[in-house]
Amino acid sequence: MLSTLVPLPVVVPLLGAALTLLLARQPRLQRTISVLCLSGTLTVAVLLLVQAYRHGPVVVAVGAWPAPVGIVLVADQLAALMVVVSSAVTLCVLLYSIGQGRSEASETTPVVIFHPTYLVLTAGVTNAFLAGDLFNLFVGFEILLAASFVLITLGGTETRIRTGSTYVVVSILSSMVFLTAVGLVYAATGTLNLAQLAQRLDDLPDGVRLALELMLLLAFAIKAAVFPLSAWLPDSYPTAPAPVTAVFAGLLTKVGVYAIIRTETLLFPGGQADVLLMVVAGLTMVIGILGAVAQSDLKRLFSFTLVSHIGYMIFGVALSTAAGLSGAIFYVVHHITIQTTLFLVAGLVEERVGSTDLRRIGGLARVAPLLGVLFFVPAMNLAGVPPFSGFLGKLGLLQAGVAAGGPLPFVLVAAGTLTSLLTLYVASRVWNLAFWRAPRLATSEPSVRLPKLMVGATVALVAIGLALTVLAGPLFDVTADAAADLRLRTPYVRAVLPGGGP
């Protein structure tokens, strides 16, 4: 049966983590196992997505305990789609990191720890996507956070400890807020199963519902780096190793966005917090991109564009329409791919010329033409230049905003357009400074040839980004279907509680 496949995206990386830890002495075997695990996860995820698209959500009750009592893992279209994209991206980044590890003989980071931790991180991400239970979602968050703590302080240098401590403290605080919200939700409803919560939360008094909703949103917004709660991100991401930053930027914030989508559709569909969400979405977009305009380091600059574009997704969620949700889901998929690619390119730039500081590099287009292409395509994609997927995603969201009507959505549409233009400005500024100008290398002994595997992994991600453009039609079908299911809520609830629930 296909339902036995559902736990595999969580179990396989966890088992792989244990194996790679045991095989710490044999790096070659360790790498092979990591790659095999993530390839397996990707295959399973694709199968799940096909099944969820054709026949509705795939549910498995862990330990054969029936739904409201036991823990369920649910792969509906949204969850399956997220697992597909996240495992594809993690696989590419893993290959990139293997390429990087091979190139540097004097690599100071303990590679022994990298592979197990990376696999645990993947397991946490997929667990959070598949969780059908609020507490299991919390556990998924904790798994990925604990792994990310290790990855962000990898090597334990002074800079990484300094930035890592900020990240660790902020993450722990958000976990505490989430845990408190979980406790309060249980106290108010007597259940944590998401499907059962969907039925019971509707009967609560409005004030209690709003309080619980805001508490959950607060916890998820810290993780998703929504504006007033986003200051930790640009301070902590840029110092980590390039593959780590790339996978954090691509996935960790999107897990927060995913949790916000679930909260706003399945648990609290009334749209009580829509105005608040729209305001913070607009502020996230504009303030984030203004931060990016002011930056002079490539990695910090990309961190700010990351924060800025989270705003688009929150905007789509806040619209509370099927079109808005569909656009938001498409944008999540697009943004995971593109933002990861850009951070990988920043890593390649650092590898090639020794720095990512725009003040110290220049003329890369002449020195490394392939690198120029690899930067140009995703950067234009991020800025939303037609015909790339970034343009299609933004267009979908802006159309949904116009269709929703009203003064606030129109302000948000204007803010979205402005952000898109400013992103284009930022991208062309990086192009002018780092890729045009007279060649200037920050290191006296640049590595002339980049490792093939690093370039290959980046090329693969750029190609996935382009494939999203070509396959945008079918993808929009899937996201529209997922959004319709999310709005209805019944497919999810019925799949988890076939008897209608107590």
Residues that bind other proteins (CB under 8 A): 135, 139, 142, 145-146, 149-150, 153, 156-159, 161-166, 168-169, 172-173, 175-176, 179-180, 182-184, 186-187, 192, 235, 238-239, 294-297, 299-300, 355-360, 429, 433, 437, 440
Closest CB to other proteins among 355 and 399? Answer: 355
- Closest to other proteins by CB, 177 vs 475, is 177
- Rounded Cα gap, residues 296 and 496, in angstroms: 50
Tokens of 497: 């509680």
Token pair 């406790």 in the structure block, residue: 183
Q: Which is nearer to other proteins, 295 or 419 (CB)?
A: 295
Separation of alpha carbons 249 and 426, rounded Å: 18
Q: Using the minimum distance from each CB to other proteins, give the nearer residue, 77 or 163.
A: 163
Residue 197 tokens, joined: 């919560």
**Distance, CA of 90 to CA of 261 (rounded, Å):** 22
Q: Whose Cβ is closer to other proteins: residue 223's or residue 334's?
A: 223
Q: How far is the CB of 443 from other proteins (least distance, A)?
A: 12
Q: How far apart are CB 358 and other proteins at their closest, in Å?
A: 5
Q: Which is nearer to other proteins, 200 or 494 (CB)?
A: 200
Kindly state the smallest distance separating residue 463's Cβ from other proteins, in Å: 29
Question: Residue 118 Cβ, how far from other proteins at the closest point, in Å?
Answer: 17
Rounded to whole angstroms, how far apart are CA atoms 58 and 10? 15
Q: Smallest distance from the beta carbon of 244 to other proteins, in angstroms?
A: 14
Q: Cβ contacts of residue 338 below 8 Å, gap of 6+?
A: 378, 381, 382, 389, 390, 465
* CA 75 to centroid of chain Cα atoms: 17
Q: How far is the CB of 434 from other proteins (least distance, A)?
A: 10
Nearest approach in angstroms of CB 267 to other proteins is 17
Q: Which residue's CB is nearer to other proteins, number 299 or number 309?
A: 299
Q: Which two tokens stand for residue 84?
A: 């597909």
Q: For residues 80 and 51, what is the distance between their CA atoms, to the nearest angstrom? A: 9
Q: How far is the CB of 75 from other proteins (least distance, A)?
A: 23
How many angstroms separate the CA atoms of 390 and 375, rounded? 15
Nearest distance in Å: CB 56, other proteins: 29
Tell me whether residue 2 or residue 139 sits nearer to other proteins (CB atom): 139
253-262 vs 206-224: helix crossing angle, rounded to 10: 160
CB of residue 147 to other proteins, shortest distance in Å? 11
Shortest gap between Cβ of 344 and other proteins (angstroms)?
Answer: 17
Closer to other proteins by CB, 256 or 291: give it: 291
Considering only CA atoms, which of 407, 264, 374, 418 is closest in space to residue 328? 264
Count of CB atoms situated within 10 Å of the CB of 456? 15
Q: HSE on the CB side for 63, CA within 13 Å?
A: 6
Nearer Cβ to other proteins (161/459): 161
Q: Please state the closest distance from residue 299 (CB atom) to other proteins, in A.
A: 7
Between 149 and 431, CB nearer to other proteins = 149
Rounded to the nearest 5 degrees, what angle is found at the Cα of 253, between the Cα atoms of 249 and 255? 125
* Type and span of the H or E element at 61: strand 58-61
Nearer to other proteins, 177 or 377 (CB): 177
Centre a 10 Å sphere on the Cβ of residue 191 and count the other Cβ atoms it contains: 20
CB of 305: closest distance to other proteins in angstroms?
A: 16
DSSP class per residue in 115-172: HHHHHHHHHHHHHHHHB-BHHHHHHHHHHHHHHHHHHHTTT--HHHHHHHHHHHHHHH
Counting Cα atoms < 13 Å in the Cβ hemisphere of 486 gives 32
Is the CB of residue 288 less than 8 Å from the CB of residue 307?
Answer: yes
Cα distances from 105 to residues 302, 316, 494, in angstroms, run 28, 46, 55
Q: List phi, psi (to 5°) of 436.
A: -95, -140
CB nearer to other proteins: pick between 36 and 294? 294
Question: What burial letters (b/e) apply to 240-259, b meaning 16+ CB within 10 Å?
Answer: bbbbbbbbbbbbbbbbbbbb
